[in-house]
Structure 1
């Protein structure tokens, strides 16, 4: 008879996500995962089958948290530029506030794994698509409300902003807030 689990899957996934986010997939050892989660390697692999399964679940969790974060910022009852600026500034402020400047787990994963792993490539594209869709919806709303130029293509501008987000998250690893804020201001000037 199997013993009942004495841990919460979501909490374990969150802790594993932090380990992967800080170290990368390949540089996170099973011992590091056990230490980060507080669960023995055997129990960890019994619960999640493999390091890759745990990583996939961590990416799914990161995506869900990202969707919630975007919704929280982009649904605010303010102008479109202000809502998007708040979203972008909050992303980089979180990056700058940590003890280690980790950037974005999706961007880091794309750089580390996407070229050799089609499943990872698709997972990162799904995450990016969620952000692009949220941005495009907010820009389209801004066009309807009259605070975005009617000639702006919401999808194309959202794709441009997604590219800007990726760049900001990488640059936040080595640059200061004033420079990153200037980039955000420049990116939003076309709205």
Structure 2
């Protein structure tokens, strides 16, 4: 009879996710995964598959958490435009710029792997499509609330907001000063979501 697993899968996946996030896919070795997970090769692969499968599990968990967070932000915002602005400013969420320099696991992964890995490319497309759909709903709500022009295309605006946020994310990876990065993000938000522009 097989022995029950003596580890917390979610905890292992968080540790593995952070390793991939900090070092990238190519920069993470099996030894790194064993070290951060506390598991031997046999246990790690038996539970999660090979390195690629383990990476995909970690990435899917990350994407699901980001999706839940964005939906909560939109649903709880007093006005939808506030959630949309917060989305663009998300990469500069701390004072020291650490999160900006770390970037977004999905964005980092897309840059590193999508051109050569069709599974990762498909996962990235789906994640960005899902984000666009949530943002488009928020844009439509912001139009109803009078904060975004009625003439704006919700899907087009959502894609522009996503592109702006990802651009800020990439600039953050260069080590740009966090104040400059924040000013850039605010400028993008102001241009894409002009205040009081109903009608």
TM-score by length of 1: 0.91
The number of residue pairs the alignment matches comes to 190
Q: What does 1:51-70 align with in structure 2 at a 5 Å threshold?
A: 51-70=51-70
Check whether the contact 2:89–2:186 (CA below 8 A) recurs between aligned residues. no
Which residue is equivalent to 1:190? Answer: 192
Say what the alpha-carbon RMSD is for the aligned residues: 1.8
8 Å contact kept, 1:17–1:55: yes
| CA distance, structure 1, for counterparts of residue 67 and residue 74 of structure 2 | 10
1:47 correspondence with 2:78: no
Tell me if the contact between 1:93 and 1:177 (Cα under 8 Å) persists in the aligned partners: no
After TM superposition, give the deviation of residue 171 of structure 1 in Å: 1.1
Task: After superposition, give the CA deviation of every residue in 1:25-62 in whole Å (9 maximum; x if it has no partner).
Answer: 11110110111111122210111121111101011101
1:135 equivalent in structure 2: 135
Q: 2:150 is paired with a residue of what secondary structure?
A: coil
**Contact kept? 2:87, 2:165, Cα under 8 Å:** no
For residues 141 and 40 of structure 2, the distance between their equivalents in structure 1, rounded to whole angstroms, comes to: 49
1:28 alignment counterpart:
28
User: Structure 1: how far apart are the matches of 2:61 and 2:77?
Assistant: 27
Cα displacement (A) at 1:122? 0.5
Q: Distance in 2 between matches of 1:3 and 1:77?
A: 47
Cα deviation for residue 180 of structure 1 reads: 2.1
Please list every run of 5 or more consecutive structure 2 residues that lacks an aligned counterpart in the other structure: 194-199
- Judge conservation of contact 2:63–2:127 (CA < 8 Å) in 1: yes
- Contact 1:80/1:148, CA 8 A, preserved across alignment: no
Match of 1:180 in 2: 181
2-side partners of 1:36 and 1:141: how far apart?
A: 43
**What TM-score does the superposition give when structure 2 sets the normalisation length?**
0.88
How far the C-alpha of 1:157 sits from its partner, in A, is 0.8
The worse-fitting range, judged by mean Cα deviation, of 1-10 and 136-145 is 1-10
CA contact (8 A) 2:160 2:192 kept: no
**Offset from partner CA, 1:144-172 (integer Å, 9 cap, x none):** 12111111111001111111111111111
Kindly report structure 1 stretches of 4+ aligned residues shifted beyond 3 Å. none
Structure-2 separation of matches of 1:140 and 1:155: 9
1:103 aligns with: 103
Q: How far apart, CA to CA, are the structure 1 residues paired with 2:7 and 2:22?
A: 22
